[in-house]
Amino acid sequence: MEKLKIILRGGPRPVAFCPVSARLKRPPEALAGAVLVDVARDLPVPFQTSAAPGGTMLHWIADCLAPRQEREYVLRESSVKPAASPVGLEMAQGQVTVRIGGELFTRYIYGDAVPKPCLYPVIGPFGQAVTRAYPQETVAGDSTDHIHQRSVWVAWGNVNGSDNWSEERGSGRMLHRGFEALESGPVFARLSTRNDWVNASGKRLMEDRLEYTFYNVPPSFRLFDLNVTFRATDGDVRFGDTKEGGIISLRVATSMEGSRTGRIQNSLGAVTEAETWGKRASWCDYSGLVGNHVVGIGVFDHPSNPCYPTYWHVRDYGLMTANPFGLSFFVGGGADGSYVLRAGGELSFRYRVLIHAGGAGEGGVKDKYLEYVFPPAAVVQD
């Protein structure tokens, strides 16, 4: 293949292990046998590709970039490939296991055994789970309130009047309908799944597409994206104004709860449930003690999302959700945050989740959020 040059341009702050992408005009098959080389260090860099209109998206991890630094890469033919442990997906009945560098990170759990799909466990930088085991497992000392709060999940408590948040009698469910993508690779693993949302009587309300991307970053932290698309397949869909919902939701490990060792903090610097519950922020972070280490989970709201910056339903008992529509609870004064998705339409949200050592400050949550929103720009010289 003909050699191709890519210049990666850094912004006003340093970057460390940041997912980046470049759009190429060449089709994916034209890149067979190619290697991406960091010119200054003469090092091959692992990359993956995905199809894009009129060409290909090239994806890799920028391990370090100083402020305003430019780094040159070339894409060329080579028989020498970079050594990299992949992010792997392993299929089994009702679950997909995600391993990074051969180590368990999480499992996507789905099927008849659960009323809605979830990620569990989610392993932090010190090898211990940072989300609650209950109700997936019974662990001594775990809190057992709110059975519907399943580690990491997507749900809403008023969909055309159906409660698809709770798991009480009369609640709706999310039914797995199939996988649209299952991809392993040296840069990321991607899992895309389709689910029907049904009410208590089994009537379909709408469909969702959940796409998880798990990145191959050093074990000192973990990073994954969740893109959610709702499709109004069966008429108009009304997301009713309620606090009982989260387009992305997490229940932290019991020891991390704010009523124990936990600390809640948002992008405005507010801390505690009293300062962060029902408030808008571009990110929210929940940190606390797991074993002998302080760890945290940051959730990033993308500026392209509806109602950005989102409101946060975040509690001292361990719940953290991005809730864009619960205005009557968060704002009051007769506000109604309900949203109607018209028949045949789509509604999409994008989030990134950072699992880090230490609190929000030590974990670099602010900088990682800015990397997400303002990644280094790639200029292709083809």
Residues in CB range of 222: below 8 A, 6 or more apart:
100, 105, 122, 123, 124, 125, 354, 355
Range of the domain at 203: 87-373
Q: How far is CA 115 from the centre of its chain?
A: 20
Residue 335 and residue 190 share a domain: yes
Separation between Cα atoms, residue 41 and residue 71, nearest integer Å: 10
Q: Is residue 305 part of a domain?
A: yes
Residue where a domain terminates, one of 65, 84, 103: 84
Is residue 97 within 8 A of residue 104, CB to CB? The reply is yes
Amino acid at 115: P
The CATH number linked to 186 is: 2.70.98
Are 108 and 64 within one domain? no
Same domain? For 74 and 151 the reply is: no
Whether residue 57 is found in the same domain as residue 103: no
The angle formed by the CA atoms of residues 76, 77 and 78, to the nearest 5 degrees, is: 115
27: domain CATH number is 2.60.40.1180
The DSSP secondary-structure symbol of 284 reads E
Same domain, 331 and 368: yes
Residues 53 and 121 in one domain: no
Total-model pTM: 0.97
CA distance 191 to 226: 10
Neighbours of 218 (CB within 10 A): 13
Do the domain assignments include residue 381?
no
Same domain, 113 and 141: yes
Q: What is the pLDDT of residue 2?
A: 66
378 is a domain residue? no
Angle at 295 (CA atoms; ends 293, 299), nearest 5 degrees: 175
Asked whether residue 99 falls in the same domain as residue 216, the answer is yes
Number of domains in the chain: 2
pLDDT tens over the chain, length 382 residues: 568 999 999 999 999 999 999 999 988 888 888 999 999 999 999 999 998 888 999 999 999 999 999 999 999 887 667 777 899 999 999 999 999 999 999 999 999 989 999 999 999 999 999 999 999 999 999 999 999 999 999 999 999 999 999 999 999 999 999 999 999 999 999 999 999 999 999 999 999 999 999 999 999 999 999 999 999 999 999 999 999 999 999 999 999 999 999 999 999 999 999 999 999 999 999 999 999 999 999 999 999 999 999 999 999 999 999 999 999 999 999 999 999 999 999 999 999 999 999 999 999 999 999 999 999 999 998 7
* DSSP class of 8: E
- Do 216 and 157 share a structural domain? yes
